[in-house]
C-alpha cells in the first residue's frame, strides 16, 4: 500500500466528472487499499478517487469511531433521499482546515458495487448519509464549498492559495 497525493481546492482536476468502473481486478483492489491508507492517514472519514486524481467512480468511507469499518462504494448512485433535510458542518480533505454548514437530505439509499463487482444497497443516515453525498459530489466534479456563498467560496480559495504559496516558499521552490 502507498499513500496518495490529495488534490487541493481549487485544483481544476477536482471538477472532472469520474467515469464508471468497468474492470474489477487487482489494480482496483490496490487503489482501494491505497485510498483507504491515504484517508486514514489524513485523517478523514471519506475519500473519492477524484481527490487523488483518479477519475473513476470509486469512494471509500469509514465513519466508525475505531476506523475499522471501511466500505468501498464503486459506481455509487443515490436511489432514494429523504424529504427531511439537515445542516451538517462539513469538511473536506481537499479543502483542509475549512468547515461549514451544508444542507442535505438526512437519509439516503445508495446502490453500488463492491470490490468484486457485486451489487449492494445501503440505507445511510447521519454522518454516513452526509459522507456518501459529499463523496458522490466529488465524483460528479463538485466540491462542498460550491454550496456556500460566492463570498465565502472566494475567501476560502484565497486562503488556500496563500497557504500553498507559503508552503512552496518554505520548501525553497
Q: Give the mean pLDDT of the chain.
A: 96
Binding residues: 92, 134, 138
The pLDDT score that the predictor gives to residue 172 is 77
Q: Please, what sign has the CA dihedral across residues 118, 121, 126, 129?
A: positive
Q: With bands split at pLDDT 50, 70 and 90, how would you rate the model's confidence at 168?
A: confident
The pLDDT score that the predictor gives to residue 170 is 87
Q: With bands split at pLDDT 50, 70 and 90, how would you rate the model's confidence at 173?
A: low
Pairing of strands 95-105, 119-125: unpaired
Chain position carrying cell 452526509: 130
Mean pLDDT to the nearest integer, 105-124: 98
Mean pLDDT to the nearest integer, 57-63: 98
More confident residue, 5 or 164: 5
Mean pLDDT to the nearest integer, 49-58: 98
Model-wide pTM > 0.75: yes
Binding residues for Fe cation: 92, 134, 138
The pLDDT score that the predictor gives to residue 141 is 98
Edge-to-edge order in the sheet of strand 71-81: 46-48, 58-61, 71-81, 107-113, 119-125
Tell me: cis bond preceding 47? Omega within 30 of 0 counts: no
- DSSP letters, 15-64, are GPPPBPP---SHHHHHHHHHHHHHHHHTT-SEEEGGGGT--BSEEEE---
Query: Could you list the active site residues?
Result: 135
| % of the chain surpassing 90 pLDDT | 94
Amino acid at each position: 500500500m502507498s499513500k496518495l497525493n490529495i488534490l487541493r481546492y481549487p485544483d481544476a482536476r477536482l471538477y472532472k466528472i469520474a467515469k464508471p468502473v468497468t474492470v474489477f481486478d487487482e489494480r482496483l483492489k490496490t487503489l482501494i487499499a491505497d485510498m483507504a491508507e491515504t484517508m486514514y492517514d489524513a485523517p478523514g472519514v471519506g475519500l473519492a478517487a477524484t481527490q487523488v486524481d483518479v477519475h473513476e467512480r470509486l469512494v471509500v468511507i469509514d465513519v466508525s469511531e475505531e476506523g475499522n469499518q471501511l466500505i468501498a462504494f464503486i459506481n455509487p448512485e443515490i436511489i432514494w433521499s429523504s424529504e427531511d433535510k439537515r445542516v451538517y458542518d462539513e469538511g473536506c480533505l481537499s479543502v483542509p482546515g475549512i468547515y461549514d454548514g451544508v444542507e442535505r437530505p438526512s437519509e439516503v439509499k445508495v446502490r453500488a458495487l463492491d470490490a468484486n463487482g457485486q451489487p449492494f444497497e445501503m440505507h445511510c443516515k447521519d454522518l454516513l448519509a452526509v459522507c456518501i453525498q459529499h463523496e458522490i459530489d466529488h465524483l460528479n466534479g463538485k466540491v462542498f464549498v460550491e454550496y456556500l456563498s460566492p463570498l465565502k467560496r472566494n475567501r476560502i480559495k484565497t486562503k488556500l492559495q496563500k497557504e500553498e504559496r507559503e508552503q512552496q516558499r518554505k520548501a525553497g521552490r
